[in-house]
Amino acid sequence: MSIRRDRYEIRFSGEGGQGVILGGAILAEAAILHEGRFAVQSPQYGSRVRGGPTKVDVIISDLPILFPRATKIDFFLALAQMSYNKYANGLADDAVLLIDANLVPNVNENGRYVHRLPIVEIAKVELGNEVLSSSVALGAVIALTGIVRPDAAWKAIEARVPAKVKELNRKAFERGLKAGESLKG
């Protein structure tokens, strides 16, 4: 897959509490701090912090970024149906989507590539904690897009998560990477 180097737009969406905004911050930090590129992370959420639809736009570029919100999304992640419904707009014609296979049943593919992965189930059942969802998702996003190097992303995750859950997050991130690789086929 060829990546737009001048402006690659990613949107993560989900429910408040799933960690998508933090996931976006980690991705931007990986690009800025560990790859020396430009990135912005711009979240949006409502007054209802937990349970309401949230999204975060991450734009990564070789050049300074003027407008900090996505206008033509290259990659869209949805971990909840309501956030898909609300925020799956402004997608590029060739946008790639990654959706939670269980939680986002209704997707309008419209000729676009839609990857399905039971992200929250992997975190909850396989790894034992739903809060690992965003690390699983990050791994899958990075495998699918190659937007930052996995080691850069891991350094950024490591800097953000508490020491006692570092190992769990590493497992989750690697599980996501593996799943993303196999989705690519």
| The one among 71, 102, 108, 110 contacting other proteins by CB under 8 A | 71
- 88-127: which residues touch other proteins (CB under 8 A)? none
Closest distance of CB 41 from other proteins, Å: 4
Q: Is 28 in the site for other proteins (CB under 8 A)?
A: yes
| The one among 41, 134, 135, 169 contacting other proteins by CB under 8 A | 41
Return d(Cα 137, Cα 94) in angstroms, integer: 20
| The one among 43, 113, 170, 174 contacting other proteins by CB under 8 A | 43
Which value, in Å, is the radius of gyration of the alpha carbons in the chain? 15
Q: Is 45 in the site for other proteins (CB under 8 A)?
A: yes
Closest distance of CB 101 from other proteins, Å: 30
Q: Which stretch binds other proteins (CB under 8 A): 22-30, 75-83, 105-113, 133-141?
A: 22-30
The residues pairing with 57 across neighbouring beta strands, listed in sequence order, are 11, 42
Cα→Cα distances 44→12, 68, 83, Å: 10, 12, 11
The H-or-E segment that residue 111 falls in is: none
Return d(Cα 178, Cα 49) in angstroms, integer: 31
Task: Choose among 129, 110, 111, 112: nearest CA to 120.
Answer: 129
Q: Is 69 in the site for other proteins (CB under 8 A)?
A: yes
Cα→Cα distances 96→47, 73, 85, 139, Å: 29, 9, 16, 15
Q: Which stretch binds other proteins (CB under 8 A): 24-32, 101-109, 161-169, 173-181?
A: 24-32
| The one among 10, 20, 30, 32 contacting other proteins by CB under 8 A | 32
Closest distance of CB 57 from other proteins, Å: 9
Return d(Cα 47, Cα 72) in angstroms, integer: 26
Q: Is 66 in the site for other proteins (CB under 8 A)?
A: yes
Q: Which residues bind other proteins (CB under 8 A)?
A: 25, 28-29, 32, 38-47, 65-69, 71
